[in-house]
Structure 1
Amino acid sequence: MADVARLAGVNASTVSHVVNGTRPVSDGTREAVLRAIAQTGYRHNALARSLATSSTTTLGLASSISANPHFADLVRAVESAARAAGYTLLLGDTHDDAEQELRVVQELADRRVDGVLLAPSPHAGERALPLLRAAGVPTVLVDRFTDDGLDQIAPENVEATAALAGHLADIGHTRVAMVVGMPGLHSSAERLAGYRRTVAERGLDDDPALVVAGGSEPGRAAEAVAALFARAGRPSAVVVGNNAMTIGTMRALRDLGLRVPDDVALACYDDFEWSDLFEPRLTAIAQDVPRMGARAVAMMLERIADPALPARAERVVPALRHRTSCGCRPGRAPRTTASDPGPVPVGTGGRGTLGA
């Protein structure tokens, strides 16, 4: 820095202000400093700065990135919000495995990240979360809730899945199946609860055999759906609990020679970027992933700034994208009301609505 200052004809504090953006300097001075930096090959020493400030300006994101296309979208949203706030994002793939999750959060803590955003596995409360608490790492849970008193943000699940099943009931289906995700996740339990609520309220067939375990994986979902349709009393419609299982469900229906929606109506939780690029176009619940990622980062920065804040739990209300896989008549949209309420604090009584 002293070399850069001598070459630019300024003092070292001015070089620091240019590099760190801590004080406005004139355009001429900034250009002189940048030319000197280029000539000397100076590189900002992030490690030295972190020792001086007790901040690495890095955040960690731990989630099952490779197992579900949804998490790739979440990574993009979180990285964009973190970068806009001046943070670098470090990623770790947990594979929704307890041991791998523990390794990932330990490595992030060892690298002294300023905070960890975690999409918790079903076993996070046993080891990963206690480790983060013991290390004093600010933590925000994203996409999935747990029972722990931590900052959390996730999509609304019950109303959304009830809307999917309700739409299928509106167009005449009475025997509707549900492919449920990984056990132990709040999202799986809540989406199943939404389905069951509609079954009870609308008088649909409540045969327990219509609920099958897809394990939040394409392969397991395909096996479960194949077994479901091998039995007597096939369903006329299927609700799928996430987009990884939607891939498996569609593969199984294809292998069985069943056409969507001619033979089986299909509606799913989680939209795909390419959902409307092929036929049938998927009727799906679309999460507002950019909003969820931005809010997760905002909650993290607020937590870093004030560790004494009370824990917050918020929901982001998704939207129902009505397309053709449900098989209803053109122009017959679901009976929902468009709304954009943003994040909804849990426990306020506000349930929000779904946009058609």
Structure 2
Amino acid sequence: MPPSRRNPVMADVARRAGVSISTVSHVLNGTRFVASSTRDAVLSAVDELGYQGMKDVTNTRNSSRAIGLVITGASNPYFGELVAGVEQEATRAGYALLLCDSHDDPKQELSAVQTLISHNVEAIVIAPTPSWEDKTLPLLRKHGRPFVLVDRLSSARCDQVGLENESVSATLVEHLIEIGHRRIGMVAGLDGLSTSIERVRGYQRALQESGIEADADLIVPGLSTVAGGRSATLRLMAMRPRPTAIFSGNNAMTIGALRALREAHCAIPHDVALIAFDDFEWAETVTPALTAIAQPFHAMGAQAVQLLLRRLADPLAPRRVVRLPAEIAHRHSCGCGIRRGPAAPAPAK
């Protein structure tokens, strides 16, 4: 491989083999049964790309130099950026990566952490489920495994790295208000997650600071899923008067929102403006191009590993909570070119 190119990472192997990142991890780390045909495809991709993670894992079984990662939706390409950030920083420090998918289920999360502990990982990066403090946190404390929370933060006293969710959400909703929107709906994420809570708080803050009375009915749960986003958006568009703009709280719900607006024959942004948390690679290719908040997921993953290494080097170091800034990609779905009056009426059915 030419020296100017980066070394292949687990996400590259997954793409070449046509499987999820978690499947690659299971093949390389032996953490779960994988069909022989799938295993062969993964190992072929490893050979073709010259992926070095397999050698690291072999050494890890003898030296216990491994870091675990527990995250939901590991098969989602969007989270591949975070996984790549964790893996590259871990590899640079001489650690292999063992990856488990929690599926946003507390029981699956607990099982994943138990699996990682049984494989003698030295430390764990975890994007926690809503009720992780009930069982997963006590297990981590019991076994004395250093850990860092990533993306989703908590009141627990531990190292954490996440995003400035509230302030950037407020800024984006303020943009809608500046161009004349007064009735703005929100498709909110899964209950109990810090990301969901903070993004709703940002939405509410923007309304309050602009002197707009908040309508609780305009915040509809989307459960952080495609189906939930679709259902929530259809519910918003059935209201009378209906919103003139919608803020979607994550990438999965945005896909659902786009489907719902197409089903409802609503043109974006003429009938309803749409803004979203989480940018997509294809956000500029849809019509109209999507205005969205882009998270620095690769940097977030790398920062999480750096906090872990600091904790391993000094178990008594003061805890750190790192908040990374996000960027807003202004495109066309917000309807910047459509100036609305201060009390824009709902569009006719």
Whether the TM-score (by the shorter chain) exceeds 0.5 is yes
1:231 is displaced (CA, Å) by: 2.1
Alignment of 1:145 with 2:153, yes or no, is yes
The verdict on how the C-alpha distance between 1:264 and 1:43 changes in structure 2, with shifts beyond 3 A counting, is: closer
Give the Cα separation in 1 of the matches to 2:57 and 2:337: 61
Alignment of 1:174 with 2:182, yes or no, is yes
Give the Cα separation in 1 of the matches to 2:56 and 2:217: 63
Aligned to 2:84: 76
Could you tell me the TM-score, scaled by structure 2's length? 0.78
Quick one: percent identity of the two aligned structures? 45
Alignment of 1:319 with 2:327, yes or no, is yes
Give the Cα separation in 2 of the matches to 1:89 and 1:282: 34
SS of alignment partner, residue 300 of structure 2: helix
Aligned to 2:254: 246
Give the Cα separation in 2 of the matches to 1:306 and 1:318: 30
Could you tell me the TM-score, scaled by structure 1's length? 0.77
Give the Cα separation in 2 of the matches to 1:268 and 1:128: 31
1:74 is displaced (CA, Å) by: 1.1
1:67 is displaced (CA, Å) by: 7.4
- By relative contact order (CA 8 Å, sep 6+), the higher-ranking structure is 2
SS of alignment partner, residue 60 of structure 1: strand
Coordinate RMSD, CA, aligned:
1.9
Unpaired segments of 5 or more residues in structure 2? 1-54, 339-349
Alignment of 1:128 with 2:136, yes or no, is yes
Report if aligned partners of 2:56, 2:96 keep a CA contact under 8 Å in 1: no
Aligned to 2:167: 159
Aligned to 1:107: 115
Which residue identity does 2:187 align to in structure 1? Answer: V
Give the Cα separation in 1 of the matches to 2:248 and 2:149: 24
1:73 is displaced (CA, Å) by: 2.0
Which residue identity does 1:244 align to in structure 2? Answer: A
The verdict on how the C-alpha distance between 1:302 and 1:230 changes in structure 2, with shifts beyond 3 A counting, is: same
Larger-gyration structure (1/2): 1
SS of alignment partner, residue 320 of structure 1: strand
Aligned to 1:46: 59
1:238 is displaced (CA, Å) by: 0.5
SS of alignment partner, residue 129 of structure 1: helix
Give the Cα separation in 2 of the matches to 1:198 and 1:100: 37
Give the Cα separation in 2 of the matches to 1:80 and 1:47: 16
1:70 is displaced (CA, Å) by: 3.5
1:227 is displaced (CA, Å) by: 1.5
1:204 is displaced (CA, Å) by: 2.8
Q: C-alpha offsets along residues 245-279 of structure 1, whole Å, 9 cap, x if unaligned? A: 11111111111111111211011111112211222
Match of 1:88 among 96, 114, 125: 96
Q: C-alpha offsets along residues 215-246 of structure 1, whole Å, 9 cap, x if unaligned? A: 10110111111122112110000011111111
Q: C-alpha offsets along residues 19-64 of structure 1, whole Å, 9 cap, x if unaligned? A: xxxxxxxxxxxxxxxxxxxxxxx999636742xxxxx121110010
Which residue identity does 1:328 align to in structure 2? Answer: C
1:83 is displaced (CA, Å) by: 1.6
Report if aligned partners of 1:142, 1:296 keep a CA contact under 8 Å in 2: yes
The verdict on how the C-alpha distance between 1:175 and 1:133 changes in structure 2, with shifts beyond 3 A counting, is: same
- Greater shift, 224-233 or 315-324, is seen at 224-233
The verdict on how the C-alpha distance between 1:322 and 1:261 changes in structure 2, with shifts beyond 3 A counting, is: same
1:203 is displaced (CA, Å) by: 2.4
Give the Cα separation in 1 of the matches to 2:84 and 2:300: 11
Unpaired segments of 5 or more residues in structure 1? 1-41, 51-55, 331-356
Report if aligned partners of 2:186, 2:220 keep a CA contact under 8 Å in 1: yes
- Greater shift, 78-87 or 98-107, is seen at 78-87
Alignment of 1:304 with 2:317, yes or no, is no
The verdict on how the C-alpha distance between 1:265 and 1:43 changes in structure 2, with shifts beyond 3 A counting, is: closer
Alignment of 1:119 with 2:122, yes or no, is no
Give the Cα separation in 1 of the matches to 2:154 and 2:326: 20
The verdict on how the C-alpha distance between 1:43 and 1:208 changes in structure 2, with shifts beyond 3 A counting, is: closer
Aligned to 1:226: 234
The verdict on how the C-alpha distance between 1:111 and 1:203 changes in structure 2, with shifts beyond 3 A counting, is: same
Give the Cα separation in 2 of the matches to 1:266 and 1:160: 16
Match of 1:206 among 181, 202, 214: 214
1:133 is displaced (CA, Å) by: 1.1
Give the Cα separation in 2 of the matches to 1:58 and 1:144: 23
Q: C-alpha offsets along residues 54-95 of structure 1, whole Å, 9 cap, x if unaligned? A: xx1211100102475532221122112212222111110001
Give the Cα separation in 1 of the matches to 2:257 and 2:61: 52
Which residue identity does 1:78 align to in structure 2? Answer: V
Which residue identity does 1:214 align to in structure 2? Answer: G
The verdict on how the C-alpha distance between 1:68 and 1:155 changes in structure 2, with shifts beyond 3 A counting, is: farther
